Structure 1
Amino acid sequence: MMRKLFVLALISTSLSASVPLTTVAEEIASPGTDDRASPVFGVTLPPGYRDWQFISVAHEAGNNNDIRGILGNDIAMKALKEGTLPFPDGSIIVRLAYEYVPSERNNAIFGREQSFVAGAPTNVQIEVKDSKRYASTGGWGYGQFENGKANPSLKIVNSCFACHAKLPAAADFVFTTFSK
């Protein structure tokens, strides 16, 4: 019995070694793979995204009133630094959003309210470039996540491209530019 199990394991390992590896962008943009995937686009949180390079920061006033850190994978960063648009397939941009709050500690030192910092996290938004898979949305697939879980709202995910589509085509539907 043990010999049969060993042979089966060896065959399984050999077969899996011959299967082509997928790219990270393909792995995080596979609709219906699990409940961690965003509806519509199937985008998931990319492994190691918190270690990606810094693109820029943004403060969104109004209803959101948040502060955002924007990060990019190596493909997106290369395109941004070289000014290559449209972004190549495999580009991934991550936006980390936090409550925009005054820093009591810093303001006590300054003697007035002038320092603002990231408070509690609100969400993470991901956009993945795959010009074939997401042709109807300018080549980008979207996802929003709270506490590490995909927001299941079709309304929220479908509204992503509606805003991005308002940008000039020359921006490749991306709000953020590289801060040097």
Structure 2
Amino acid sequence: MKALAALPYAGAVTAIALVGAVSIARGDGDRKPASPIYGVTIPDGYRQWELVAPALEHEPLNELRAVVGNQKAIDAYQAGTLPFPDGTVLVKLAWKHIQSPEFESALVPGAATTVQVMVKDSKKYPDSGGWGFGRFIDGKPVDAAQHKTCFACHESRVKARDYVFTKFAP
């Protein structure tokens, strides 16, 4: 910083502009955090999307989960369309489950754990069944090593359902 203070006005402005350019190139500023490998972001307004299905996962994660989908996803589920059309987006929200303090036989959401996103774009993601994946903790993407396991798990278990685990809840 001492070097910046010693620069004449024009030099300081140039240095500040360069710092700003580096910030933008790194993804700082208004850009959303994107998952490594796939570049998937958390979609705007996903909390207002329709519920696809809830789930309870026991060991080892002990999570309550809710999967929501954009309108393309809901339309495809309702029509029984497989494969899902490009533009389908599914978002899974997960929380640790805890016993309800008001009703002892009920489990309720505790601390949030992850937001996971699947985006169907067969041209952009041809090597992963047409799906891009994103896993976020506190709004930040997890590392690339964890993203490498997304498609492998979906491919080994639900390839016949276009790589989607969640079935539409009646």
Query: Gaps (5+ residues) in structure 2?
Result: 1-25
* Paired position in structure 1 for 2:159: 169
* Paired position in structure 2 for 1:118: 109
Instruction: Return the alpha-carbon distance in structure 2 between the equivalents of residues 166 and 133 of structure 1.
Output: 21
Instruction: Return the alpha-carbon distance in structure 2 between the equivalents of residues 82 and 163 of structure 1.
Output: 26
Instruction: Return the alpha-carbon distance in structure 1 between the equivalents of residues 101 and 58 of structure 2.
Output: 20
Equivalent of residue 144 in structure 2, options 136, 154, 175: 154
TM-superposition CA deviations, 1:52-100 (whole Å, max 9, x none)? 0000011112221101010000001100010000000000000000001
**How many pairs were matched up?**
142
TM-superposition CA deviations, 1:94-128 (whole Å, max 9, x none)? 00000011112112xxxxxx111111110100000
Tell me if structure 2 keeps the 8 A contact 1:56–1:71: yes
Tell me if structure 2 keeps the 8 A contact 1:85–1:170: no
Tell me if structure 1 keeps the 8 A contact 2:158–2:165: no
Instruction: Return the alpha-carbon distance in structure 2 between the equivalents of residues 49 and 149 of structure 1.
Output: 16
Q: Secondary structure of the residue that 1:142 maps to in structure 2? A: strand
1:40-79 paired onto structure 2 within 5 Å: 40-79=37-76
Tell me if structure 1 keeps the 8 A contact 2:65–2:94: yes
How far the C-alpha of 1:146 sits from its partner, in A, is 1.3
Instruction: Return structure 1 stretches of 4+ with deviation > 4 angstroms.
Output: 32-35
Query: Gaps (5+ residues) in structure 1?
Result: 1-31, 108-113
TM-score where L is the length of structure 1? 0.75
Instruction: Return the alpha-carbon distance in structure 2 between the equivalents of residues 79 and 175 of structure 1.
Output: 14
Instruction: Return the alpha-carbon distance in structure 2 between the equivalents of residues 121 and 168 of structure 1.
Output: 26
How far the C-alpha of 1:147 sits from its partner, in A, is 1.4
Instruction: Return the alpha-carbon distance in structure 2 between the equivalents of residues 103 and 95 of structure 1.
Output: 22
Deviates more, 1:37-46 or 1:140-149: 140-149
Q: Provide the alpha-carbon RMSD of the alignment.
A: 1.4
Tell me if structure 2 keeps the 8 A contact 1:37–1:150: yes
TM-score where L is the length of structure 2? 0.80
Q: Secondary structure of the residue that 1:45 maps to in structure 2? A: coil
Q: Secondary structure of the residue that 2:156 maps to in structure 1? A: coil
How far the C-alpha of 1:141 sits from its partner, in A, is 0.4
Instruction: Return the alpha-carbon distance in structure 2 between the equivalents of residues 51 and 168 of structure 1.
Output: 27
Asked if 1:141 is matched to 2:132, the reply is yes
Tell me if structure 2 keeps the 8 A contact 1:49–1:94: yes
Instruction: Return the alpha-carbon distance in structure 1 between the equivalents of residues 115 and 81 of structure 2.
Output: 25
